[in-house]
Amino acid sequence: MCINAIANKSYHLGFGKVVAISTITRANENRSYKIYEEHAMLLIKEAKRLYIDATTIDLCLSTFFWATFRTTKAGIKLHAQIDLKTAIPEFIVFSNASVHDVNALDFISFEANSFYIMDKGYVDYKRLYRIHLCNAFFVTRAKDNMNYRRLYSHSKDIKKGVIYDQTIMLNNHYASKDYPEKLRIIKFKDDLSGLTLIFLTNNFHLKATDIALLYKARWDIEMFSNGSSNTSR
């Protein structure tokens, strides 16, 4: 549509008179993707809040024999990072379905002052600390068996769903070595759903209710995944 809008210039762009999808496909085979990548980065370089998630896509084992998942099922996993501000996918990578979600964090270049929102399948303290060292922020859910000690409590607002808001340090030897600094833990009850969630973050500036709202925004990527394919989690 964009090219047809400047049809009088299409010849000089090397497309000829008729611009078809197949024409563009053949043209792109001879061009480096980095031309478009650099341009895209210029357009979306503003400060962003980002969410990371993965979804499993079931496949027929007899056809996709390489995508081993279970003895009777094949599958691949799509790891995606979505910019919540623009709804633009910033990072997409496919892997075998057996690859753990947290491994996707190794391929992401974290941006300072950005928020990375993820479910607790991505809780790995060494990787979370790498986000912290990049001067970025993460919001995730605390694991049920997390071993920590409370340093002090912040003001809470039970009427708004904030049951507690605390600054903590990890107790476990290896966990505290992987993440040697303070963390913030928030217990929040959502009146609409009735769910009680415990959030873990390295951001101490936002209100506890704002942290909860950020995590709620993670459902945008669920809609992105469900809208593009029939997936199972």
Strands 137-141 and 115-117, sheet pairing = parallel
Please give the model's pTM, rounded to 2 decimal places. 0.62
pLDDT tens across 4-32, in order?
Answer: 777 777 777 776 666 677 777 777 788 87
The count of C-alpha atoms lying within 13 angstroms of the C-alpha of 22, restricted to the half-sphere facing its C-beta, is 1
Domain membership flag for residue 25: yes
Residue 11 in domain: yes
Question: Within a domain: residue 213?
Answer: no
In a domain, 76, yes or no: no
Domain-embedded: residue 199 = no
19 lies in a domain? yes
Residue 9 belongs to domain spanning = 1-31
Q: Which residues contact 22 (CB under 8 A, 6 or more apart)?
A: none
Closest CA to 54 of 88, 93, 106: 93
Residue 143 lies in a domain: no
Tens-digit pLDDT profile for residues 185-209: 999 998 888 889 999 999 999 999 9
Among 201, 202, 227, 228, residue whose Cα is nearest residue 212: 201
Per the structure, how many domains does the chain have? 1
**Residue 7 is assigned to a structural domain of this protein:** yes
